[in-house]
Amino acid sequence: MRIYSSYSDSELAFLLTQGDELAFTEIYNRFYGLLFIHASKRLNDEEEAKDVLHQLFESLWVKRMQVAPDGNLSAYLYTAVRNRVLDVFAHQKVENKYVDSLQDYIDQDHVLTDYLVREKQMALLIEKEIDALPPKMREIFILSRKENKSHKEIAIQLGLSELTVKTQVKNALRILKTRLGLVVYVALLFKTYR
């Protein structure tokens, strides 16, 4: 009967390439503790270190034919752990970028939604105040602002003088400025004169 604990790393590596499960068990028992400490120090997370080692030993068994039987088994295992730790960091970096990107999207969506709600509320307020204007003034203002007609076009359409139209638009803006405040007035003013 073989006593695997007495075998060198090279002998265990050779037996592993031959599919010897007991050699694999001895490698696992011999290196797990040291590799775990190595991985935990790098990752600062014992559960993540256990996952890394589980994957490492699973891969070692699956790829046992690729292990160099005369190579340095401990160096091979430490390198494999280091590479897996680097993979974890790379994956976390991608994951963090994705989470940050998603958070930016959610934040922007929230801002956009808030803006759209405020814009709708503002539009309803403006409509309410325009509807409260005297009928002829309201008609002239709507032709000027909503249908984008010039003072001359409105005067011709309604059979009024251009000066009357201009005065009615000015009076409507003055009334709306009083009722709605300066910010809305400025927005309406930019839409006024062409």
Domain residue ranges in the chain:
4-98, 132-190
Helix axes 73-131, 135-145, angle to 10 degrees: 140
Q: Are 23 and 70 in contact (CB under 8 A)?
A: no
Which residue's entry shows tokens 């290196």? 31
Global pTM? Answer: 0.48
Cα separation, 112 vs 118, whole angstroms: 10
- DSSP strand E in 14-126: where? none
CATH number of the domain located at residue range(s) 4-98 in this protein: 1.10.1740.10
Q: Domain 132-190: which topology?
A: Arc Repressor Mutant, subunit A (1.10.10)
Instruction: Report phi then psi at 26, rounded to 5.
Output: -65, -40
The closest alpha carbon to 78, from 31, 21, 14, belongs to 31
Cα(36)–Cα(90) distance, integer angstroms: 20
What pLDDT shows up at residue 192?
Answer: 44
pLDDT in tens, 77-122: 888 888 888 888 787 776 667 666 666 666 665 566 666 677 777 7
What confidence category does residue 5 fall into, taking pLDDT thresholds of 50, 70 and 90? confident
pLDDT band at 29; cut points 50, 70, 90: very high
pLDDT digits 0-9 by tens, 33-84:
989 998 888 888 888 889 989 998 898 898 888 887 777 888 888 888 888 8
Contact 93, 86 (CB under 8 A): no
> Quick one: CA torsion of 184, 190, 193, 194, rounded to 10 degrees?
-150
- CA 17 – CA 30 distance, rounded (Å): 17
Cα–Cα distance for residue pair 119/180, rounded to 1 Å: 14
Express each pLDDT in 139-193 by its tens digit. Answer: 888 888 778 888 888 889 889 888 888 888 888 877 777 776 655 555 655 554 4
- 3-class secondary-structure state, position 145: helix
